[in-house]
C-alpha cells in the first residue's frame, strides 16, 4: 500500500502534475474537494464550513463552537478511510494531515519562485503581474496558516 501526497503553491501547476502523475502511475487521484464532499455527506456538515476550516483562519467564535476542530476531525476520519486503499495520490491541503511517521507515504512539495508564479498567474487569470502577486501572497498565507496549525511552523515549503 502506498500513498503520494502532493502539496503545491498556487500557479505551480500542481493540478496538472497530479493528473499526469495519476495517469502515469495508475494511482487514484483524490483532491481536497472530493474529501470535503465526502466529509460533508458523512457527517452532515456544510461543505463551506469544512473548506474554511481547511483553508482559512479559525473564526473568533471557534473557542466556543469548536467548529474548526469538528470539521477537521470529520475530515481526518474520511482521510483515514481513504488511505486504506492501495495506490492513492492525494492532491492539496488534506494530505498534510497524515502523520510523518507513516512509512508508505511519499510527500512531494511543488513550488516555484515568485517571479515565475506571477507570470503564470497573470496569464492564467488575465490580470497584471502585480495583481497575480497579490493573489499569490493571499493564497500563500492560507498555506502558512494551515502548516502553522498542523506543525507549529510558518514555512509551508520547508520539509516536515
Give how far Cα 100 sits from Cα of 22, 36, 153, 154, Å.
22, 22, 15, 17
- Domain annotation for the chain: domains and CATH numbers: 3-151 (3.40.50.300)
Whole-angstrom Cα distance, residue 78 to residue 85?
12
Question: Is pLDDT above 90 for 110?
Answer: yes
pLDDT digits (tens, 9 = 90+) for 134-143: 999 999 998 9
Give the per-residue pLDDT at 156: 79
Amino acid at each position: 500500500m502506498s500513498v503520494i501526497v502532493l502539496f503545491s503553491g498556487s500557479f505551480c501547476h500542481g493540478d496538472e502534475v497530479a493528473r499526469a502523475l495519476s495517469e502515469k502511475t495508475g494511482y487514484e487521484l483524490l483532491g481536497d474537494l472530493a474529501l470535503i464532499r465526502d466529509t460533508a455527506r458523512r457527517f452532515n456538515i456544510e461543505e463551506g464550513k469544512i473548506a474554511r476550516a481547511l483553508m482559512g483562519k479559525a473564526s473568533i467564535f471557534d473557542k466556543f463552537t469548536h467548529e474548526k476542530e469538528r470539521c477537521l476531525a470529520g475530515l481526518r476520519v474520511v482521510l483515514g478511510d481513504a488511505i486504506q486503499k492501495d495506490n492513492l495520490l492525494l492532491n492539496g491541503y488534506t494530505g498534510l494531515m497524515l502523520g510523518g511517521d507513516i512509512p508508505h507515504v511519499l510527500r512531494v512539495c511543488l513550488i516555484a519562485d515568485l517571479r515565475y508564479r506571477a507570470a503564470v498567474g497573470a496569464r492564467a487569470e488575465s490580470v497584471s503581474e502585480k495583481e497575480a502577486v497579490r493573489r499569490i501572497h493571499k493564497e500563500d498565507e492560507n498555506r502558512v496558516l494551515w502548516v502553522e496549525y498542523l506543525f507549529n511552523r510558518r514555512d509551508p515549503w520547508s520539509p516536515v
